[in-house]
Structure 1
Amino acid sequence: MPSAWLIGPLVIKSELVILLASFIVGIIFFRTISSYSKITTKQKTDEVINLLIVFVLALWIGKILTNFSTFITDPISILAYPSDSAAFYIANILSVIYVQIKTKRAYHQVIALLYAFLIVFFTASFTYGFIQLIAGTAAFSLPYLGLLLLLLILFVLQQDKLAKEKLVLIGLVTWSIGQWLLSIFSETTVFQFYLSHWFYGAISLAVILLCIYRKRVKK
Protein backbone atom coordinates (compact mmCIF):
# COMPACT_ATOMS: atom_id res chain seq x y z
CA MET A 1 0.00 0.00 0.00
CA PRO A 2 1.42 3.44 -0.90
CA SER A 3 2.11 5.75 2.03
CA ALA A 4 0.22 8.58 0.30
CA TRP A 5 -1.74 9.53 -2.81
CA LEU A 6 -1.30 12.68 -4.87
CA ILE A 7 -4.55 14.31 -6.01
CA GLY A 8 -3.49 17.47 -7.80
CA PRO A 9 -1.68 19.61 -5.22
CA LEU A 10 -3.10 17.55 -2.34
CA VAL A 11 -1.16 14.82 -0.57
CA ILE A 12 -3.48 12.35 1.13
CA LYS A 13 -1.79 9.93 3.51
CA SER A 14 -2.95 6.33 3.38
CA GLU A 15 -3.05 6.30 7.18
CA LEU A 16 -5.70 9.03 7.13
CA VAL A 17 -7.78 7.12 4.58
CA ILE A 18 -7.60 3.97 6.72
CA LEU A 19 -8.56 5.98 9.79
CA LEU A 20 -11.61 7.54 8.10
CA ALA A 21 -12.67 4.17 6.67
CA SER A 22 -12.33 2.58 10.11
CA PHE A 23 -14.66 5.09 11.72
CA ILE A 24 -17.17 4.68 8.90
CA VAL A 25 -17.13 0.93 9.60
CA GLY A 26 -17.56 1.70 13.31
CA ILE A 27 -20.59 3.90 12.69
CA ILE A 28 -22.17 1.33 10.35
CA PHE A 29 -21.57 -1.42 12.90
CA PHE A 30 -23.20 0.60 15.67
CA ARG A 31 -26.25 1.33 13.52
CA THR A 32 -26.46 -2.38 12.65
CA ILE A 33 -26.33 -3.81 16.17
CA SER A 34 -28.00 -0.95 18.06
CA SER A 35 -30.84 -2.00 20.33
CA TYR A 36 -32.24 1.53 20.21
CA SER A 37 -35.12 2.53 17.96
CA LYS A 38 -34.22 3.82 14.48
CA ILE A 39 -34.83 7.43 15.52
CA THR A 40 -32.74 7.11 18.69
CA THR A 41 -30.00 5.24 16.83
CA LYS A 42 -29.77 8.05 14.27
CA GLN A 43 -29.69 10.61 17.07
CA LYS A 44 -26.86 8.77 18.86
CA THR A 45 -24.99 8.39 15.57
CA ASP A 46 -25.20 12.14 14.97
CA GLU A 47 -23.98 12.81 18.52
CA VAL A 48 -20.98 10.50 18.03
CA ILE A 49 -20.11 12.17 14.72
CA ASN A 50 -20.35 15.60 16.37
CA LEU A 51 -18.07 14.39 19.17
CA LEU A 52 -15.53 13.10 16.65
CA ILE A 53 -15.58 16.44 14.83
CA VAL A 54 -15.07 18.27 18.13
CA PHE A 55 -12.17 15.94 18.97
CA VAL A 56 -10.48 16.64 15.62
CA LEU A 57 -10.83 20.40 16.16
CA ALA A 58 -9.55 20.00 19.73
CA LEU A 59 -6.61 18.01 18.37
CA TRP A 60 -5.71 20.97 16.16
CA ILE A 61 -5.94 23.27 19.17
CA GLY A 62 -3.69 20.87 21.06
CA LYS A 63 -1.20 20.86 18.19
CA ILE A 64 -1.15 24.66 18.15
CA LEU A 65 -0.64 24.85 21.93
CA THR A 66 2.18 22.31 21.91
CA ASN A 67 3.91 24.15 19.03
CA PHE A 68 2.86 27.65 20.02
CA SER A 69 6.17 29.39 19.31
CA THR A 70 6.22 27.93 15.80
CA PHE A 71 2.57 28.90 15.30
CA ILE A 72 3.34 32.52 16.23
CA THR A 73 6.32 32.84 13.88
CA ASP A 74 4.97 30.77 10.99
CA PRO A 75 1.26 29.78 11.35
CA ILE A 76 1.10 27.97 8.01
CA SER A 77 3.95 25.64 8.92
CA ILE A 78 1.83 24.15 11.71
CA LEU A 79 -0.04 22.24 8.99
CA ALA A 80 3.04 20.11 8.41
CA TYR A 81 3.41 19.18 12.08
CA PRO A 82 1.92 15.81 13.06
CA SER A 83 -0.26 15.69 16.15
CA ASP A 84 1.57 14.04 19.05
CA SER A 85 0.49 12.45 22.32
CA ALA A 86 0.49 15.83 24.12
CA ALA A 87 -2.02 17.19 21.59
CA PHE A 88 -4.05 14.00 22.07
CA TYR A 89 -4.22 14.53 25.84
CA ILE A 90 -5.34 18.15 25.37
CA ALA A 91 -7.97 17.06 22.84
CA ASN A 92 -9.33 14.52 25.34
CA ILE A 93 -9.67 17.16 28.06
CA LEU A 94 -11.42 19.59 25.71
CA SER A 95 -13.72 16.81 24.45
CA VAL A 96 -14.71 15.91 28.02
CA ILE A 97 -15.57 19.56 28.64
CA TYR A 98 -17.66 19.56 25.45
CA VAL A 99 -19.57 16.44 26.55
CA GLN A 100 -20.26 17.98 29.96
CA ILE A 101 -21.62 21.15 28.35
CA LYS A 102 -23.54 19.27 25.63
CA THR A 103 -25.27 16.91 28.04
CA LYS A 104 -25.70 19.60 30.71
CA ARG A 105 -24.02 17.19 33.15
CA ALA A 106 -26.99 14.79 33.01
CA TYR A 107 -25.47 11.43 33.95
CA HIS A 108 -27.81 9.27 31.85
CA GLN A 109 -27.13 11.39 28.75
CA VAL A 110 -23.38 11.05 29.24
CA ILE A 111 -23.74 7.27 29.58
CA ALA A 112 -25.91 7.04 26.44
CA LEU A 113 -23.36 9.02 24.44
CA LEU A 114 -20.42 7.01 25.80
CA TYR A 115 -22.20 3.74 25.05
CA ALA A 116 -22.60 4.65 21.37
CA PHE A 117 -19.12 6.15 21.18
CA LEU A 118 -17.40 3.11 22.68
CA ILE A 119 -18.98 0.75 20.15
CA VAL A 120 -17.83 3.03 17.32
CA PHE A 121 -14.39 3.51 18.90
CA PHE A 122 -13.75 -0.19 19.60
CA THR A 123 -14.92 -1.17 16.10
CA ALA A 124 -12.87 1.57 14.43
CA SER A 125 -9.79 0.65 16.48
CA PHE A 126 -10.13 -3.03 15.59
CA THR A 127 -10.68 -2.27 11.89
CA TYR A 128 -7.75 0.18 11.82
CA GLY A 129 -5.42 -2.27 13.53
CA PHE A 130 -6.51 -5.20 11.39
CA ILE A 131 -5.95 -3.28 8.14
CA GLN A 132 -2.56 -2.05 9.35
CA LEU A 133 -1.62 -5.61 10.28
CA ILE A 134 -2.72 -7.10 6.96
CA ALA A 135 -1.18 -4.30 4.89
CA GLY A 136 2.04 -4.46 6.87
CA THR A 137 2.17 -0.65 7.03
CA ALA A 138 2.82 -0.54 10.76
CA ALA A 139 3.46 -2.82 13.69
CA PHE A 140 0.27 -3.45 15.60
CA SER A 141 -0.27 -5.39 18.79
CA LEU A 142 -2.12 -8.68 18.36
CA PRO A 143 -3.02 -8.71 22.07
CA TYR A 144 -4.64 -5.28 21.61
CA LEU A 145 -6.70 -6.63 18.71
CA GLY A 146 -7.73 -9.49 20.97
CA LEU A 147 -8.75 -7.04 23.69
CA LEU A 148 -10.85 -5.01 21.24
CA LEU A 149 -12.52 -8.15 19.86
CA LEU A 150 -13.35 -9.28 23.40
CA LEU A 151 -14.93 -5.90 24.17
CA LEU A 152 -16.97 -5.92 20.96
CA ILE A 153 -18.28 -9.42 21.72
CA LEU A 154 -19.17 -8.25 25.23
CA PHE A 155 -21.14 -5.26 23.95
CA VAL A 156 -22.96 -7.29 21.27
CA LEU A 157 -23.95 -10.19 23.53
CA GLN A 158 -24.75 -8.21 26.68
CA GLN A 159 -26.42 -5.04 25.34
CA ASP A 160 -29.91 -6.46 26.00
CA LYS A 161 -28.94 -8.09 29.31
CA LEU A 162 -26.88 -5.48 31.13
CA ALA A 163 -27.73 -1.84 31.75
CA LYS A 164 -25.95 0.62 29.47
CA GLU A 165 -24.23 2.12 32.51
CA LYS A 166 -22.67 -1.22 33.47
CA LEU A 167 -21.54 -1.92 29.92
CA VAL A 168 -19.91 1.49 29.61
CA LEU A 169 -18.10 1.20 32.94
CA ILE A 170 -16.99 -2.39 32.27
CA GLY A 171 -15.87 -1.40 28.78
CA LEU A 172 -13.84 1.58 29.98
CA VAL A 173 -12.20 -0.30 32.86
CA THR A 174 -11.40 -3.39 30.76
CA TRP A 175 -9.97 -1.30 27.90
CA SER A 176 -7.89 0.99 30.11
CA ILE A 177 -6.54 -1.75 32.39
CA GLY A 178 -5.87 -3.95 29.36
CA GLN A 179 -3.92 -1.16 27.66
CA TRP A 180 -2.09 -0.39 30.91
CA LEU A 181 -0.98 -4.02 31.23
CA LEU A 182 0.10 -4.11 27.59
CA SER A 183 2.06 -0.87 28.08
CA ILE A 184 4.23 -2.62 30.68
CA PHE A 185 5.63 -4.94 28.01
CA SER A 186 5.63 -2.71 24.93
CA GLU A 187 4.56 0.64 23.54
CA THR A 188 0.81 0.95 23.18
CA THR A 189 -1.08 3.03 20.67
CA VAL A 190 -4.51 4.49 20.09
CA PHE A 191 -4.54 4.71 16.32
CA GLN A 192 -1.26 6.50 15.49
CA PHE A 193 -0.77 7.99 18.97
CA TYR A 194 1.75 6.45 21.35
CA LEU A 195 0.34 7.02 24.83
CA SER A 196 1.83 6.78 28.29
CA HIS A 197 0.71 4.13 30.79
CA TRP A 198 -0.42 6.92 33.14
CA PHE A 199 -3.17 7.89 30.68
CA TYR A 200 -4.73 4.43 30.94
CA GLY A 201 -4.21 4.42 34.70
CA ALA A 202 -5.97 7.78 35.00
CA ILE A 203 -8.99 6.47 33.08
CA SER A 204 -9.15 3.32 35.24
CA LEU A 205 -8.93 5.35 38.44
CA ALA A 206 -11.57 7.84 37.27
CA VAL A 207 -14.03 5.05 36.39
CA ILE A 208 -13.44 3.21 39.67
CA LEU A 209 -13.98 6.43 41.66
CA LEU A 210 -17.14 7.09 39.63
CA CYS A 211 -18.45 3.60 40.46
CA ILE A 212 -17.85 4.20 44.17
CA TYR A 213 -19.55 7.58 43.99
CA ARG A 214 -22.57 6.19 42.11
CA LYS A 215 -23.02 3.44 44.69
CA ARG A 216 -23.03 5.98 47.51
CA VAL A 217 -25.51 8.20 45.66
CA LYS A 218 -27.87 5.26 45.07
CA LYS A 219 -27.80 4.41 48.77
Structure 2
Amino acid sequence: MAIISKLTIILIIAISFALAFLAFYLLSNLPKEQRKQQISEITSQLINFVLFLWLAKILLNLPLFVQDPLAVLAYPSNSEAFYLAALFTGILIYVKAKQGKLAGGRLAHTFLQIFLAASFVYEFIQLAWRENPFSLPYLVVFGLLLALFHGLQGRMDPLNQISIVLAAAAAGFFTIHFMLPYLSVFGYIVEPWFLALFLAACFGLLVTGSSDRPDPDLN
Protein backbone atom coordinates (compact mmCIF):
# COMPACT_ATOMS: atom_id res chain seq x y z
CA MET A 1 0.00 0.00 0.00
CA ALA A 2 2.89 2.37 0.77
CA ILE A 3 4.37 1.73 -2.68
CA ILE A 4 1.01 2.46 -4.38
CA SER A 5 0.70 5.68 -2.40
CA LYS A 6 4.23 6.70 -3.41
CA LEU A 7 3.52 5.92 -7.07
CA THR A 8 0.41 8.09 -6.85
CA ILE A 9 2.49 10.95 -5.50
CA ILE A 10 5.01 10.51 -8.33
CA LEU A 11 2.18 10.62 -10.87
CA ILE A 12 0.78 13.80 -9.32
CA ILE A 13 4.24 15.41 -9.38
CA ALA A 14 4.70 14.45 -13.04
CA ILE A 15 1.30 15.93 -13.95
CA SER A 16 2.08 19.08 -11.96
CA PHE A 17 5.36 19.73 -13.78
CA ALA A 18 3.86 18.83 -17.15
CA LEU A 19 1.14 21.45 -16.69
CA ALA A 20 3.69 23.96 -15.37
CA PHE A 21 5.85 23.44 -18.47
CA LEU A 22 2.80 23.84 -20.70
CA ALA A 23 1.79 27.07 -18.95
CA PHE A 24 5.33 28.45 -19.29
CA TYR A 25 5.47 27.56 -22.99
CA LEU A 26 2.08 29.13 -23.73
CA LEU A 27 2.36 32.24 -21.56
CA SER A 28 6.03 33.23 -21.76
CA ASN A 29 6.97 36.12 -24.04
CA LEU A 30 10.36 34.58 -24.76
CA PRO A 31 11.07 33.62 -28.37
CA LYS A 32 9.95 30.08 -29.20
CA GLU A 33 13.46 28.66 -29.37
CA GLN A 34 14.41 30.15 -26.00
CA ARG A 35 11.27 28.69 -24.44
CA LYS A 36 12.19 25.25 -25.76
CA GLN A 37 15.77 25.66 -24.57
CA GLN A 38 14.69 26.67 -21.06
CA ILE A 39 12.21 23.79 -20.80
CA SER A 40 14.90 21.37 -22.01
CA GLU A 41 17.40 22.64 -19.43
CA ILE A 42 14.92 22.49 -16.55
CA THR A 43 13.87 18.99 -17.61
CA SER A 44 17.52 17.92 -17.70
CA GLN A 45 18.10 19.21 -14.17
CA LEU A 46 14.94 17.50 -12.89
CA ILE A 47 16.17 14.21 -14.37
CA ASN A 48 19.53 14.79 -12.68
CA PHE A 49 17.71 15.38 -9.39
CA VAL A 50 15.79 12.09 -9.72
CA LEU A 51 19.02 10.21 -10.48
CA PHE A 52 20.74 11.86 -7.52
CA LEU A 53 17.73 10.91 -5.37
CA TRP A 54 18.32 7.25 -6.20
CA LEU A 55 22.04 7.65 -5.61
CA ALA A 56 21.43 9.34 -2.26
CA LYS A 57 19.06 6.57 -1.21
CA ILE A 58 21.75 4.00 -1.99
CA LEU A 59 24.50 5.93 -0.20
CA LEU A 60 22.37 6.39 2.92
CA ASN A 61 21.54 2.67 3.00
CA LEU A 62 24.79 1.29 1.61
CA PRO A 63 25.21 -1.70 4.00
CA LEU A 64 21.65 -2.85 3.31
CA PHE A 65 22.08 -2.20 -0.43
CA VAL A 66 25.11 -4.50 -0.52
CA GLN A 67 23.11 -7.26 1.15
CA ASP A 68 19.74 -6.73 -0.54
CA PRO A 69 19.67 -4.12 -3.36
CA LEU A 70 15.96 -4.56 -4.08
CA ALA A 71 15.04 -3.78 -0.49
CA VAL A 72 16.67 -0.36 -0.86
CA LEU A 73 15.53 0.41 -4.41
CA ALA A 74 11.91 -0.50 -3.67
CA TYR A 75 11.79 1.59 -0.50
CA PRO A 76 10.60 5.22 -0.94
CA SER A 77 13.21 7.96 -0.55
CA ASN A 78 13.17 9.90 2.72
CA SER A 79 13.88 13.53 3.55
CA GLU A 80 17.60 12.88 4.05
CA ALA A 81 17.86 11.51 0.51
CA PHE A 82 15.92 14.54 -0.73
CA TYR A 83 18.38 16.91 0.98
CA LEU A 84 21.37 15.07 -0.46
CA ALA A 85 19.92 14.98 -3.97
CA ALA A 86 19.19 18.72 -3.77
CA LEU A 87 22.80 19.33 -2.66
CA PHE A 88 24.24 17.28 -5.53
CA THR A 89 21.97 19.01 -8.05
CA GLY A 90 22.83 22.45 -6.68
CA ILE A 91 26.56 21.74 -6.92
CA LEU A 92 26.19 20.49 -10.50
CA ILE A 93 24.20 23.57 -11.56
CA TYR A 94 26.68 25.91 -9.85
CA VAL A 95 29.66 24.28 -11.56
CA LYS A 96 27.98 24.35 -14.98
CA ALA A 97 27.00 28.00 -14.47
CA LYS A 98 30.56 28.97 -13.47
CA GLN A 99 31.90 27.13 -16.52
CA GLY A 100 29.48 28.98 -18.76
CA LYS A 101 27.70 25.78 -19.81
CA LEU A 102 24.31 27.15 -18.75
CA ALA A 103 22.81 30.59 -18.20
CA GLY A 104 22.42 30.70 -14.43
CA GLY A 105 20.32 33.84 -14.30
CA ARG A 106 17.85 32.69 -16.93
CA LEU A 107 17.70 29.22 -15.39
CA ALA A 108 16.86 30.60 -11.92
CA HIS A 109 14.22 32.93 -13.36
CA THR A 110 12.55 30.19 -15.42
CA PHE A 111 12.85 27.53 -12.73
CA LEU A 112 11.12 29.72 -10.18
CA GLN A 113 8.18 30.24 -12.53
CA ILE A 114 7.87 26.51 -13.19
CA PHE A 115 8.43 25.54 -9.55
CA LEU A 116 5.70 27.88 -8.30
CA ALA A 117 3.25 26.73 -10.98
CA ALA A 118 4.00 23.03 -10.41
CA SER A 119 3.69 23.46 -6.63
CA PHE A 120 0.35 25.22 -7.03
CA VAL A 121 -1.01 22.43 -9.28
CA TYR A 122 0.35 19.76 -6.92
CA GLU A 123 -1.31 21.27 -3.86
CA PHE A 124 -4.55 21.83 -5.80
CA ILE A 125 -4.66 18.14 -6.77
CA GLN A 126 -3.85 17.12 -3.20
CA LEU A 127 -6.71 19.27 -1.89
CA ALA A 128 -9.32 18.57 -4.57
CA TRP A 129 -8.65 14.90 -5.28
CA ARG A 130 -7.01 13.50 -2.17
CA GLU A 131 -8.86 15.87 0.20
CA ASN A 132 -5.71 16.77 2.09
CA PRO A 133 -6.61 19.74 4.36
CA PHE A 134 -2.91 20.54 4.93
CA SER A 135 -2.66 21.55 1.27
CA LEU A 136 -4.90 24.60 1.64
CA PRO A 137 -2.28 26.93 3.22
CA TYR A 138 0.26 25.89 0.58
CA LEU A 139 -2.30 26.47 -2.17
CA VAL A 140 -2.97 30.00 -0.91
CA VAL A 141 0.74 30.82 -0.56
CA PHE A 142 1.72 29.46 -3.97
CA GLY A 143 -1.27 31.18 -5.58
CA LEU A 144 -0.25 34.52 -4.09
CA LEU A 145 3.39 33.98 -5.10
CA LEU A 146 2.37 33.20 -8.68
CA ALA A 147 0.18 36.30 -8.80
CA LEU A 148 3.04 38.39 -7.41
CA PHE A 149 5.57 36.91 -9.84
CA HIS A 150 3.47 37.61 -12.92
CA GLY A 151 2.29 40.95 -11.56
CA LEU A 152 5.93 42.11 -11.40
CA GLN A 153 6.84 40.51 -14.72
CA GLY A 154 8.20 43.07 -17.15
CA ARG A 155 7.77 45.90 -14.65
CA MET A 156 11.24 45.76 -13.10
CA ASP A 157 14.67 44.19 -13.38
CA PRO A 158 14.50 40.37 -12.99
CA LEU A 159 16.90 40.50 -10.02
CA ASN A 160 14.59 42.84 -8.14
CA GLN A 161 11.56 40.82 -9.21
CA ILE A 162 12.99 37.54 -7.95
CA SER A 163 14.25 39.19 -4.75
CA ILE A 164 10.74 40.35 -3.91
CA VAL A 165 9.19 36.99 -4.78
CA LEU A 166 11.77 35.07 -2.71
CA ALA A 167 11.24 37.40 0.25
CA ALA A 168 7.48 36.84 -0.04
CA ALA A 169 8.07 33.08 -0.30
CA ALA A 170 10.15 33.14 2.89
CA ALA A 171 7.34 34.99 4.69
CA GLY A 172 4.78 32.54 3.32
CA PHE A 173 6.70 29.45 4.39
CA PHE A 174 7.40 31.04 7.79
CA THR A 175 3.63 31.49 8.24
CA ILE A 176 2.90 27.92 7.17
CA HIS A 177 5.52 26.67 9.62
CA PHE A 178 3.48 28.06 12.49
CA MET A 179 0.15 26.86 11.07
CA LEU A 180 1.01 23.23 10.31
CA PRO A 181 2.95 20.54 12.19
CA TYR A 182 5.48 20.20 9.35
CA LEU A 183 6.66 21.73 6.08
CA SER A 184 6.72 19.73 2.86
CA VAL A 185 7.85 20.03 -0.75
CA PHE A 186 6.05 17.72 -3.17
CA GLY A 187 5.27 15.31 -0.36
CA TYR A 188 8.73 15.31 1.21
CA ILE A 189 8.82 16.61 4.77
CA VAL A 190 11.57 19.23 5.05
CA GLU A 191 13.01 21.40 7.78
CA PRO A 192 12.69 25.21 7.63
CA TRP A 193 16.45 25.57 7.17
CA PHE A 194 16.25 23.60 3.93
CA LEU A 195 13.66 25.95 2.45
CA ALA A 196 15.76 28.91 3.59
CA LEU A 197 18.79 27.44 1.80
CA PHE A 198 16.70 26.68 -1.27
CA LEU A 199 15.49 30.27 -1.54
CA ALA A 200 19.01 31.56 -0.94
CA ALA A 201 20.37 29.23 -3.64
CA CYS A 202 17.82 30.53 -6.17
CA PHE A 203 18.87 34.09 -5.38
CA GLY A 204 22.55 33.16 -5.50
CA LEU A 205 22.17 31.51 -8.89
CA LEU A 206 20.44 34.59 -10.24
CA VAL A 207 23.19 36.86 -8.91
CA THR A 208 25.94 34.55 -10.20
CA GLY A 209 24.35 34.66 -13.62
CA SER A 210 23.57 38.38 -13.48
CA SER A 211 25.19 38.92 -16.88
CA ASP A 212 22.73 36.53 -18.54
CA ARG A 213 19.53 37.67 -16.87
CA PRO A 214 16.56 37.76 -19.20
CA ASP A 215 15.33 41.00 -20.66
CA PRO A 216 12.35 42.03 -18.47
CA ASP A 217 10.48 43.09 -21.60
CA LEU A 218 10.72 39.61 -23.10
CA ASN A 219 10.21 37.20 -20.24
Structure 1 and Structure 2 fold alike (TM over 0.5): yes
1:42-81 equivalences in 2 (<5 Å): 42-81=36-75
> 2: CA distance between counterparts of 1:204 and 1:100?
15
**Alpha-carbon shift at residue 125 of structure 1 (Å):** 0.8
Deviations 1:172-207 (A, max 9, x none): 332234213312332111011011122123345667
1:90-129 equivalences in 2 (<5 Å): 90-104=84-98, 109-129=103-123
**Alpha-carbon shift at residue 62 of structure 1 (Å):** 1.4
CA contact (8 A) 2:105 2:208 kept: no
Deviations 1:80-121 (A, max 9, x none): 211111111111111111111222356x92121011111111
**Alpha-carbon shift at residue 212 of structure 1 (Å):** 10
**What is the match of residue 20 of structure 2?**
26
1:51-200 equivalences in 2 (<5 Å): 51-104=45-98, 109-136=103-130, 138-186=132-180, 187-200=182-195
> 2: CA distance between counterparts of 1:50 and 1:211?
19
**Alpha-carbon shift at residue 4 of structure 1 (Å):** 7.9
Q: CA 1:76–1:14 in 2, change beyond 3 Å: closer, same or farther?
A: same
TM-score, structure 1 normalization: 0.82
Q: Which has the higher contact order (CA 8 A, sep 6+)?
A: 2
Is 1:15 equivalent to 2:31 in the alignment? Answer: no
- SS of residue paired to 1:83: coil
Give percent identity, aligned residues only: 33
- SS of residue paired to 2:85: helix
> 2: CA distance between counterparts of 1:141 and 1:166?
29
Q: Which of these residues, 197, 201, 204, is aligned with residue 202 of structure 1?
A: 197
**What is the match of residue 8 of structure 1?**
none
Query: Cα RMSD over matched residues?
Result: 3.1
Structure 1 gaps of 5+ residues are 6-10, 215-219
> 2: CA distance between counterparts of 1:55 and 1:80?
18
**What is the match of residue 38 of structure 1?**
32
